[in-house]
Amino acid sequence: MSDDAFTTESDQPMSEDTAAEEPEEPMAQGSPEAADEDGGNGGGNGMLGPIEIPSTSRMLVGLGGAVMALSTLFSWVELGSDSFPNIAGVGTSTIGVGLVVFLVGLSFLLRSKSVAATLGMALGAFAITLIFIVVSGTDNDALGIGAWIGLAGTAVAVLGALLLAFESSDRPELEFVPMPAALGAALAVVASFWIDWMLSFGSYLWYGLDEEGPLNGLDPDVLFGVPILILGGIALVLIVELVTVPRMVFEGRRQVLLAICRTAGIAITVIAGANVAGMVMLGLFIFGSGPLVALVGGIMLTRSIREA
């Protein structure tokens, strides 16, 4: 008997038609192939759930916030060779600047905010950090490394906020109340150069002397009124344009102008809030009324622009 007699049907080569008719065996539920197929087709990610990767702009804002918060743990003012890193920037050595930078940096890490709020807070933190370095003097040996780290962190946060403003498509419709907005911007402008921002250092040490007189926000020894004057002036001009331009014709432009005004109001609030924080920590002798008036103006401008 030949070997062909013992050849069964299963041992014979399968033709193409037979292979097509052959039913596929069900794949085991827990097999690696099933897991790979589910992962490749966008299925569930197991126990971890869907992983959401933030955008580049959000990552830059978060990175800048982390650097800002960490920078205040280093010395912003070095009074001696052994001061690093003992005199941290959160305390009274930075007249409130380091405290606000620390709080803004933490807020960027803890919660995502709107585009206007993110950009306004980042601009305000960058402005006060830069002014602190300029007033202290870049060639001053007492200027610590923490201030430069904070400036780098705020710059990264501003860059991320700008990218977020151009990339974001979710822009809520904004409405505003003209009179409070205009009054808030006007208060910020007036407070920056007209109202006393800081008393002279001589009157702080010798209470009976007032040779130099009070300093305004534009004085080279203060400078905190410069960004407030710029932001308040821009907001005031835009508010006048918003009142005079017909709403239905320039609706897209109207929303852009409202977003800029809201950003300016938040930045003014951050800058003036840093000075008020320094006034609270150091006392009422060297600070004048300018920071308080500017803070009120920034809050009024911000609160008068809301989502519809």
Span 263-285, pLDDT tens digits: 999 999 999 999 999 888 876 56
Model's pTM, two decimal places? 0.79
Is residue 167 very low, low, confident or very high in pLDDT (cuts 50, 70, 90)? confident
Task: Locate 160 and state its tokens.
Answer: 């991320």
Is residue 173 very low, low, confident or very high in pLDDT (cuts 50, 70, 90)? confident
Q: Given a cut of 90, is residue 231 above it in pLDDT?
A: yes
Q: What is the pLDDT of residue 287?
A: 75
Bridge partners of residue 175, in order along the sequence: 306
Is residue 130 very low, low, confident or very high in pLDDT (cuts 50, 70, 90)? very high
Q: Which comes out higher in pLDDT, residue 66 or 22?
A: 66
Mean pLDDT lowest among 65-74, 121-130, 155-164, 240-249: 240-249
Across 148-162, average pLDDT: 96
Residue in 237, 243, 235 with CA at minimum distance from that of residue 267? 235
Residue in 149, 179, 146, 180 with CA at minimum distance from that of residue 77? 146
Q: What region does 223 belong to: left with phi over 0, alpha with psi -120 to 50, or beta?
A: left
Q: Given a cut of 70, is residue 161 above it in pLDDT?
A: yes
Spatial neighbors of 243 by CB under 8 A, at least 6 apart, are 178, 182
Mean pLDDT lowest among 39-53, 101-115, 159-173, 219-233: 39-53
Is residue 178 very low, low, confident or very high in pLDDT (cuts 50, 70, 90)? very high
If you average pLDDT over each of 52-56, 133-137, 202-206, which comes out highest?
Answer: 133-137
Q: How far apart are the C-alpha atoms of 105 and 67, rounded to whole Å?
A: 7
What element of type H or E holds 307? strand 305-307
Nearest-5° Cα angle at 158, 153 to 159: 100
Classified as helix, coil or strand, 40 is helix
Q: How far is CA 215 from CA 134, 193, 256, 295, in A?
A: 17, 9, 36, 18
The string of DSSP letters for 116-134 reads: HHHHHHHHHHHHHHHHHHH
Alpha helices in the chain (DSSP H): 16-21, 32-40, 56-71, 97-110, 115-136, 145-167, 178-193, 201-205, 225-244, 251-282, 290-303
Is residue 17 very low, low, confident or very high in pLDDT (cuts 50, 70, 90)? very low
| Cβ contact 100:125 at 8 Å | yes
Average pLDDT, the chain: 80
Any idea what DSSP says for residue 197? -
Is residue 48 very low, low, confident or very high in pLDDT (cuts 50, 70, 90)? very low
Q: How far apart are the C-alpha atoms of 249 and 256, rounded to whole Å?
A: 14
The string of DSSP letters for 143-155 reads: B-HHHHHHHHHHH
Is residue 299 very low, low, confident or very high in pLDDT (cuts 50, 70, 90)? very high
| Cβ contact 278:95 at 8 Å | yes
